[in-house]
C-alpha cells in the first residue's frame, strides 16, 4: 500500500506532454545531456567518484576552456596522444537549472582557494561530498580554466530540465595548440596546451 501511494505522488524523472507513441527519441537528449553523469560516476573536482555530478558553465568560452583542459590532460595525454593530431567533436546544450545554488564565488579566492586549485581536488572533493550528503542541489563557483567564467556544479538531476542544442564544436589538437571551430574549417578559438 505504501509503495502504491508513493508511486502515485512521486514525479517521474522525465515528463512530456507528447504521448509515448510519438516520442521514441525525445527523451534521449535528456538522458545524454542531464542524466549521463549521474549514471556514470567518475572522480572530478567535486566528487571522489562515489556519486555523480553535472557540470555546466555560464558561457561557451568557459565551457570550451574547461573541456579542452580535460580533453587534453585527462584523455589525450593519459593515452599518449598528446603529440598526435587528434580531432574531437562536442555538442553544447543550454539547460535550465531550477534551484538555489550555494554561491562560493565571493569567498573562494581569499577564504577557500582549495576549491579552485588547478590540480589538487582534495579540498573541493570534501566540500562536494558534504554538499551532496546534506542534499543541497549544487553550487556556483569560478571557472579554474577561464578567467571570469563561472561553473555550475549540480548534485541533483531533478533540478535540471529542458536541454536544447546550442552549438557543435570541433576540437583539433595540432602540436601545442587546440584549434576550436564553431563552423567546419573556420578557427574560432586557439588554446595553447601550455596554458592549460
pLDDT in tens, 99-153: 999 999 999 999 999 999 999 999 999 999 999 999 999 999 999 999 999 999 9
Residue 55 domain flag: yes
Residue 5 lies inside a defined structural domain of this protein = yes
pLDDT of residue 31: 85
> Count H helices, E strands: the chain?
5, 10
Q: Is residue 166 part of a domain?
A: no
Query: Order of strands across the sheet with 177-183?
Result: 86-97, 160-174, 177-183, 186-192
Residue 169: predicted pLDDT: 98
For residue 20, the Cα-to-chain-centroid distance in whole angstroms is: 29
Average model confidence (pLDDT) across the chain: 91
Instruction: Look at residue 8 in the predicted model and tell me its pLDDT.
Output: 62
The total number of structural domains that make up the chain:
1
State percent of the chain over pLDDT 70.
87
On the question of pLDDT at 96 being above 80, the answer is: yes
The domain of 13 spans 1-78+100-156
Q: Is the pLDDT reported for residue 166 higher than 60?
A: yes
74 domain-assigned: yes
pLDDT of residue 69: 97
Q: What is the pLDDT of residues 8-47, one digit of tens each?
A: 655 555 566 766 655 666 677 888 899 999 999 999 999 9
pTM to 2 decimal places? 0.84
In a domain, 139, yes or no: yes
Does residue 22 fall inside a structural domain? yes
Confidence of residue 182 (pLDDT cuts 50, 70, 90): very high
In a domain, 183, yes or no: no
What is the model's pLDDT at position 12?
A: 57
Question: Domain for residue 192, yes or no?
Answer: no
What is the secondary structure of 86-100 as a DSSP string? EEEEEEEEEEEE-S-
Q: Residue 184 to residues 69, 101, 105, 177, 180: CA-CA distances in angstroms?
A: 21, 36, 35, 17, 10
The mean pLDDT value for 60-73 works out to 97
- Cell readout for 85 is 593530431
Amino acid at each position: 500500500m505504501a509503495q502504491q501511494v508513493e508511486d502515485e505522488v512521486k514525479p517521474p524523472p522525465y515528463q512530456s506532454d507528447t504521448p509515448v507513441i510519438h516520442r521514441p527519441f525525445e527523451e534521449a537528449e535528456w538522458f545524454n545531456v542531464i542524466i549521463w553523469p549521474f549514471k556514470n560516476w567518475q572522480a572530478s573536482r567535486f566528487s571522489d567518484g562515489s556519486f555523480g555530478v553535472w557540470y555546466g558553465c555560464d558561457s561557451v568560452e568557459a565551457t570550451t576552456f574547461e573541456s579542452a583542459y580535460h580533453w587534453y590532460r585527462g584523455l589525450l595525454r593519459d593515452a599518449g596522444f598528446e603529440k598526435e593530431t587528434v580531432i574531437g567533436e562536442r555538442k553544447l546544450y543550454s539547460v535550465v537549472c531550477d534551484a538555489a545554488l550555494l554561491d562560493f564565488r565571493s569567498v573562494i579566492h581569499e577564504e577557500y582557494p582549495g576549491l579552485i586549485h588547478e590540480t589538487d581536488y582534495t579540498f573541493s572533493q570534501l566540500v562536494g561530498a558534504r554538499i551532496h550528503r546534506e542534499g543541497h542541489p549544487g553550487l556556483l563557483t569560478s571557472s579554474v580554466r577561464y578567467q571570469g567564467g563561472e561553473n555550475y556544479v549540480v548534485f541533483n538531476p531533478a533540478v535540471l530540465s529542458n536541454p536544447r542544442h546550442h552549438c557543435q564544436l570541433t576540437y583539433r589538437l595540432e602540436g601545442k595548440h587546440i584549434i576550436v571551430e564553431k563552423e567546419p574549417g573556420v578557427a574560432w578559438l586557439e588554446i595553447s596546451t601550455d596554458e592549460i
